[in-house]
């Protein structure tokens, strides 16, 4: 295991990979990363779009699925289910060794269902059943319509990764949905000990938008430039403080007594978008107990090379609150910022999903034409 990854693990944080591809799964790279301390994986429509659209790793299976008469959405689902299942198998040892704490692979419901509660529940059930591994999480977006789906899926013993969380206000609702799901399990006298959930709180995108707003104010308000690059970490540290309150409460103590696990905050979107910022900034500044950080391959390599493991997640929380307050005084409302980021996040994943389906449709049409020409 990498020394830096080991130290981060010792401080209570798991490092997961925010990437998946056939090449990674089949070439031994994932096994080497697991040996170095990786304990989970996440995927999303953008990741699958990049993986499936580039190269030829998927071509053989696509041809087989076309010959079976599958339509484009079913072809995508078959490819994704295959990848997630293979990744889950390679991470099963981590799942077993940690007694279900880690070793998970996440797969997202269709972005088209972001505002469809019943559709999200139905697809979450189907995907979890189709993959058929206990160490899989179903990703559900943190929309108003997603909240009851989170409760329902958890109440049925399905692991959930709540994605696209930007605001403290929504994060509190996500934790409420988690507790409600577990309470339904307990009330039904079903075991809760192996039901896992993470709350994916997006980080770098907050700075990307807030920095843009601060830059527009810098000419008239010199202080604005000094505030850049700090909003995302402040927002995450405030979120962690809320996490400590909720999961340190008497309400959760009753669930813990029944064997329930906390819903760990997962820091997502942690690659640095601004080249002027350190490339491990959103890892180094958010390390602490009962957390996960999911990183792309480049950030994983950077952590191993020069990450700075130390407990930082609950450092200077009062300053974080003061920072957000000062942004408000300058006319930057974090609720408006995070509402915009959620809308953009849902749209971005939906656009990637549509692009992926279009790519697959073109491949399917080409294969059918080739078959027709030779028949």
CA pair distance 123, 79, nearest whole angstrom: 16
3-state secondary structure 40-67: EEECCHHHHHHHHHCCCCCHHHHHHHHH
**C-alpha to C-alpha distance for 232 and 221, rounded to whole angstroms:** 20
Q: Both tokens of residue 200? A: 């994916």
Degrees, nearest 5: CA angle 295-301-307? 85
The kind and range of the H/E element at 11 are none
Report d(CA 71, CA 364) in Å as an integer: 8
355-361 LR contacts (CB < 8 Å, sep 24+): 355/49, 355/53, 356/45, 356/48, 356/49, 356/52, 356/53, 356/76, 357/72, 357/73, 357/76, 359/49, 359/52, 359/53, 360/52, 360/62, 360/72, 360/75, 360/76, 361/72
Cβ atoms < 10 Å from Cβ of 365: 12
d(CA 19, CA 92): 17
Residue pair 297/18 in contact by the 8 Å Cβ criterion = no
Q: Report the distance separating Cα 266 and Cα 351, nearest Å.
A: 24
Q: Which of 112, 139, 173, 190 is catalytic?
A: 139
Catalytic residue list contains 71: no
Question: b vs e for 199-230, b when ≥16 Cβ sit within 10 Å of the residue's Cβ?
Answer: bbbbbbbbbebbbebbeebeeeeeebeebbbb
Dihedral sign of CA atoms 102, 118, 344, 169 in order: negative
Q: CB-based contacts of 189: which residues, under 8 Å, 6+ apart?
A: none
Polymer length of the chain: 375
Catalytic residues: 139
């Amino acid at each position: 295991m990498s020394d830096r990854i080991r130290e981060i693990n010792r401080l209570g944080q798991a490092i997961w990979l925010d990437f998946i591809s056939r090449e990674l799964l089949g070439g031994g790279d994932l096994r080497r990363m697991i040996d170095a301390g990786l304990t989970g994986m996440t995927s999303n429509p953008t990741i699958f779009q990049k993986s499936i659209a580039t190269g030829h790793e998927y071509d053989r299976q696509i041809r087989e699925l076309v010959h079976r008469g599958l339509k484009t959405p079913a072809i995508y689902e078959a490819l994704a289910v295959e990848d997630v299942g293979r990744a889950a198998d390679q991470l099963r040892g981590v799942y077993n060794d940690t007694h279900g704490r880690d070793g998970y692979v996440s797969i997202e419901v269709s972005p088209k269902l972001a505002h469809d509660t019943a559709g999200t529940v139905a697809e979450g059930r189907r995907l979890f059943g189709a993959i058929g591994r206990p160490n899989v999480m179903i990703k559900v977006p943190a929309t108003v319509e997603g909240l009851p789906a989170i409760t329902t899926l958890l109440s049925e013993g399905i692991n959930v990764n709540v994605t696209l969380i930007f605001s403290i206000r929504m994060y509190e609702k996500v934790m409420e949905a988690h507790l409600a799901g577990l309470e339904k399990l307990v009330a039904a006298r079903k075991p809760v000990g192996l039901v896992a959930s993470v709350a994916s709180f997006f980080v770098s995108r907050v700075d990307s938008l807030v920095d843009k707003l601060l830059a527009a104010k810098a000419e008239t308000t010199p202080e604005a430039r000094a505030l850049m690059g700090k909003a995302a970490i402040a927002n995450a540290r405030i979120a962690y403080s809320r996490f400590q309150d909720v999961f340190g409460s008497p309400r959760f103590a009753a669930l813990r007594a029944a064997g329930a696990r906390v819903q760990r905050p997962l820091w997502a979107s942690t690659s640095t978008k601004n080249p002027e910022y350190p490339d491990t900034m959103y890892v180094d500044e958010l390390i602490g107990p009962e957390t996960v950080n999911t990183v792309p391959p480049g950030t994983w390599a950077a952590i191993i090379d020069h990450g700075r493991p130390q407990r930082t997640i609950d450092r200077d929380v009062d300053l974080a609150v003061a920072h957000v307050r000062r942004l408000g005084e300058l006319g930057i409302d974090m609720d408006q910022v995070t509402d915009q980021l959620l809308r953009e996040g849902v749209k971005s994943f939906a656009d990637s999903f549509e692009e992926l389906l279009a790519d697959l449709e073109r491949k399917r049409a080409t294969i059918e034409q080739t078959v027709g020409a030779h028949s």
